[in-house]
Amino acid sequence: MNLILLGAPGAGKGTQAEKICEKLSIPAISTGNILREAIANGTEMGLKAKSFIDAGKLVPDEVVIGIINERLNKDDCRNGFILDGFPRTIPQAEALDEMGVQIDRVIDIEVPDEKIASRLSGRRVCLKCGATYHTEFKAPVTEGICDVCGEKLVQRKDDMPETVLDRLNTYHEQTEPLKDYYEKKGILHIVEGQEKVEDTTALTFKALED
Ligand code: AP5
Ligand code: MG
């Protein structure tokens, strides 16, 4: 199954992508994670992307379209994939269509803006293996340490409150119109994000079967 996860920053795309990845054994592809890895490795693309990400703006379409084109051509995508954080603009969605990529379902996770801030301010991430935690909702066994690989957890720069507001504005202006785009294709499924991760996961799994 070829899937897209849509939703505001902090709606829980990454969290649900992991669950679907386990359930269906298909790779979860996050443009955000790929860009952060490029920044950590100091590549040319990473340097270019950093200022946009830190300001809560979108990285230019041609950069992320290039990333996705390359990634979807890898062998592990043959039996399906989950796109987390792509497309984020209408031109990105059109590029996917032009690549001839058939999308089976788009799951849009809806969380009101006022709930986003606390989710993101409590988020901690492992830069080594990509695992994410939350100080309140998904605490690691040892505070500040990754359960998976033992690395020190950090807070993402763009999870600071002022940047979160910019990210939300960017989302409403540029990404939300995609709901209409996929609704018209008849493949949009809406999931109301719940207080507990497992409750959202139950609804997400249901949306895979409807
Ligand atoms: P990206 O990394 O994709 O960030 P984002 O979309 O802003 O999404 P987040 O990762 O913040 O949220 P999420 O929905 O994955 O939530 P999560 O599961 O972690 O992109 C970062 C930047 O890269 C962008 O701003 C942009 O600059 C650039 N970029 C990336 N893709 C791009 C593209 N295609 N085009 C252009 N630029 C691009 O959950 C959030 C928190 O909430 C966690 O702490 C989690 O534990 C908690 N949580 C999750 N679910 C629940 C729940 N049900 N109840 C309580 N807490 C929960
Ligand atoms: Mg994410």
State residue 51's pLDDT score: 94
pLDDT in tens, 144-158: 999 999 999 999 989
Give the model confidence (pLDDT) of 122-138 as tens digits.
Answer: 999 998 888 999 999 89
Long-range contacts formed by 146-151: CB under 8 A, 24+ apart: 151/126, 151/127
59 CA to centre of ligand 1 in angstroms: 14
Residues with CB under 5 A from ligand 2 (ion): 14
First to last CA, the chain: 13
pLDDT in tens, 37-94: 999 999 999 999 999 999 999 999 999 999 999 999 999 999 999 999 999 999 999 9
Ligand 1: nearest atom to the Cα of 197: 53
**For residues 92 and 96, what is the distance between their CA atoms, to the nearest angstrom?**
6
**Domain 2-26+79-112+174-209: CATH architecture, name and number where available:** 3-Layer(aba) Sandwich (3.40)
Residue ranges covered by each domain of the chain: 2-26+79-112+174-209
Nearest ligand 1 atom to the CA of 30 is 3
Of 11, 4, 3, 2, nearest to 192 by C-alpha is 11
Catalytic residues: 13, 88, 123, 156, 167
Ligand 1, atom nearest to 194 Cα:
53
Distance 167 CA to ligand 1 centre (A): 10
Mean pLDDT for the chain? 95
**Could you please report the per-residue DSSP string of the chain?**
-EEEEEESTTSSHHHHHHHHHHHH---EEEHHHHHHHHHHTT-HHHHHHHHHHHTTPPPPHHHHHHHHHHHHTSGGGTT-EEEES---SHHHHHHHHHTTPPP-EEEEEE--HHHHHHHHHTEEE-TTT--EEETTTB--SSTTB-TTT-PBPB--GGGSHHHHHHHHHHIIIIITHHHHHHHHTT-EEEEEPPSSHHHHHHHHHHHHH-
- Does the Cβ of 17 fall within 6 Å of ligand 1? no
Model pLDDT, residue 130: 85
User: Per-residue pLDDT for 99 more than 90?
Assistant: yes
Indicate left, alpha or beta for 25 from its phi (over 0: left) and psi (-120 to 50: alpha). left
Q: How far is CA 210 from CA 6, 136, 203, in A?
A: 17, 32, 10
CA of 11 to the centre of ligand 1 (A): 7
Report yes or no: 20 and 208 within 8 Å, Cβ to Cβ: yes
Mean pLDDT along residues 110-118? 93
Q: Is the pLDDT of residue 210 over 80?
A: no
**pLDDT tens digits, residue range 158-178?**
998 889 999 999 999 999 999
4-20, pLDDT tens digit by residue? Answer: 999 999 999 999 999 99
Identify the nearest ligand to the CA of 199 by its number: 1
Q: What is the pLDDT of residue 34?
A: 95
Q: What is the mean pLDDT of residues 186-201?
A: 97
Can you give the three-state secondary structure of 56-78, one letter per residue?
CCCCCHHHHHHHHHHHHCCHHHC
